[in-house]
Structure formats: C-alpha cells, structure tokens
Structure 1
Amino acid sequence: MEGRELRNALGRFATGVCIITTTTEERVPIGMTANSFAAVSLEPPLVLWSLQNNSEVYRDYAAARYFNINVLSNEQQALSNQYARKGDHAVASEHFRPGKYGAPVIRNALVTFECELDATHAGGDHLIIVGRVLNMTHRPTGKPLLFYGGTYGEIH
C-alpha cells in the first residue's frame, strides 16, 4: 500500500479542524492546524491529538506542559490556512487571548479545551499527545469547520 493511497483513504473520514496552541520556552504563543483530535475518556477528562515527528515545532509541542485544542467554526477557514503553513506558527495577537494556564485561546473558536499534558506515546511517524482537560470554554452558536477529501466543508 502506498502512502498517498492510505492518505487519500483516510481523507474519506470527515473531521473537524482545530488549532492546537501552546507557548515556546521563550513564552511566544504558537499555533498549528490539526484534524487529528479525539476524545479519550470522560473520567478522567482526556483528549488526544497527533504531532508529526518531523514537524518544525515538534520540540515546542512535545515539551509543552499546557496546550489548548481550539475547535474552529466554519467562519475560521482563513485561520486554519494560516496556521497550517510551515514557518508561520507565531499566533498573531489579534487571534487569541491568554488562557487560564498560559496557552493561547483562539478568539471565536467553537470550543477550547485547555489541557495539561497527561502522557505521550510513540505512534509511527507521529507523537500521540494525551491531555487532561482542565478548563473548557465554548460558544453557544456556530457551525464547525469540516475537512473531507482534502477540502473544507460544512454541515447543511
């Protein structure tokens, strides 16, 4: 099986789009777009996401004690595109407010899960990062930004 063939097949699974945020050792707010987010447990409240081993911000995320998973609305496609680009992970001040534990909260996200690192696991070419949800904020309205088959979509 070829890598591209597997990637295309995995793309047939519709996902939400998130921006994972944290701060560097120098306290610079950073963010990256991801769709590898999943719930793990309600008790204790655990979630996970996956970080590619060759990511240019691998060290920052792998070492982060606190991080936020910001679930984007369908109005935030431009933010998703911005933080998906290589070399452009510093979060613009107008895009966030500081979270309760220091990691950036993306303004107008549908939901933000503020997490403390619980565990990491090697997973092939990715690091699986499990976070314990310490705080959660959400908007009462809005639709999610979806990704399917290599393009964005919406719920109709």
Structure 2
Amino acid sequence: MNRTGRRTAALPGTPAVGEAFRTAMAQLAGGVVVVTTEDDEGMPRGFTATSFCSVSLDPPLVLVCLAKTSSSYQVFAECRGFAVSLLRAEQSALATRFARSGGEKFRPEHTATTPHLLPAVADALATLDCAVHARHPAGDHIILVGAVRHVSSGRGEPLVYHDRAFRRLRHPGM
C-alpha cells in the first residue's frame, strides 16, 4: 500500500524487470561522450558513455558511469584524472570503436592531448579535462565525479544515442 492507501504493484528484481528497465532507459536520448585517461604505463585507455551529466557549476563538476565489467574499469578506478570528449554527429564510428572491448581504439589522426596531458578525441564538440573529485560504487557501475579544470569547445551538432542506435538531432522545418 502507498501513502494514499492504494494497493501498488511490487517491483521484484526479476530478469523481466531488468529487461523492461533496459528497454525503458533506451528511450531516454543522451549525448555521447568518450572518456579517456592513461594507465600506469602511459598507455591511453577509453570508453564510450551516454551516462554523463553536469553536476555542479560552482565548483564545475561532471559525472560519468562505468560498468565494473568494462576492460577499462581498473584503470579508471585508480586514475587521477580523465578527459571527456563530447562527440560530434559525424563521429559515430569513433563512438562504436570506443564502445567495443579490446582492439586499437586510439589512432593518431583522432587523438588530441589536453592541457594536463590526457588523451582526448581530436575535433570533439567539446573536451573537458578533469581531476578525479570522487568515486562512488553504484550497483554494477562506478560513478566517477570529475572536477573540471579545463574546457575547450567547438561548434557543431552533437551525436545522440536513442533506442540503441546513434542518431542526429532533427531541427524543426528540416
């Protein structure tokens, strides 16, 4: 029963609820980012995410979520900083490359360096250079909170992910 005395349906933690939740969340459109850092040996590491948002303006904070099953998990669980590259509409192939496990993700023609010497995506819509502010466990993910210490911005259209596919924004009248 809820506060009004009405009977409410329970939300059991069954696989059916899990798949229904996944399907529902696929309907939430989100911007696409590539999050990058270096491991202890100086090798660049990165992943694609749509679970990214701003947290605070003062101080400037952002958050991104990473699955504990990711091949990059341990590196991001220990790194001191990371870059977030907001992708342009025409960078969907790059987003797919960073979303896959393994393989060569970083190519010289697609890689830039932030002022704090972190790898980032070249020609991104915007790039945020972040120091790790906090880490929080959250179910099967970790939430990384970054303190933004440098921003570079460009112009263009964002890459969007909706209904399990990359999309472009459609402007009225087009």
Q: TM-score, normalised by structure 1?
A: 0.95
Report whether the alignment pairs 1:30 with 2:6. Answer: no
**Superposed CA RMSD:** 1.1
Q: What residue number does 1:14 align with?
A: 29
Q: What residue number does 1:142 align with?
A: 156
**CA distance in 2: counterparts of 1:144 and 1:22, whole angstroms:** 22
- For residue 23 of structure 1, what is the amino acid of its counterpart? E
* Secondary structure of the structure 1 residue equivalent to 2:88: coil
Q: What residue number does 1:59 align with?
A: 74
Deviation at 1:89, TM superposition (A): 5.8
**CA distance in 2: counterparts of 1:87 and 1:18, whole angstroms:** 18
Q: What residue number does 1:91 align with?
A: 106
Report whether the alignment pairs 1:77 with 2:92. Answer: yes
Deviation at 1:67, TM superposition (A): 0.3
- For residue 21 of structure 2, what is the amino acid of its counterpart? L
- For residue 149 of structure 1, what is the amino acid of its counterpart? D
8 Å Cα contact 1:66/1:102 also seen in 2: no
- For residue 61 of structure 2, what is the amino acid of its counterpart? L
Gaps of 5+ in 2: 1-15
**CA distance in 1: counterparts of 2:111 and 2:71, whole angstroms:** 22
Report whether the alignment pairs 1:155 with 2:163. Answer: no
Q: TM-score, normalised by structure 2?
A: 0.86
Q: Which has the larger radius of gyration?
A: 2
Number of matched pairs: 155
Identity of aligned residues (%): 36
Gaps of 5+ in 1: none
Structure 1: 4+ residue segments shifted above 4 A: none
8 Å Cα contact 2:120/2:127 also seen in 1: yes
Deviation at 1:105, TM superposition (A): 2.1
For CA contacts below 8 A with separation 6 or more, give which structure has more relative contact order: 1
Counting only pairs closer than 5 Å after superposition, residues 82-121 of structure 1 correspond to structure 2 as 82-88=97-103, 90-121=105-136
**CA distance in 2: counterparts of 1:10 and 1:60, whole angstroms:** 27
Deviation at 1:109, TM superposition (A): 0.5
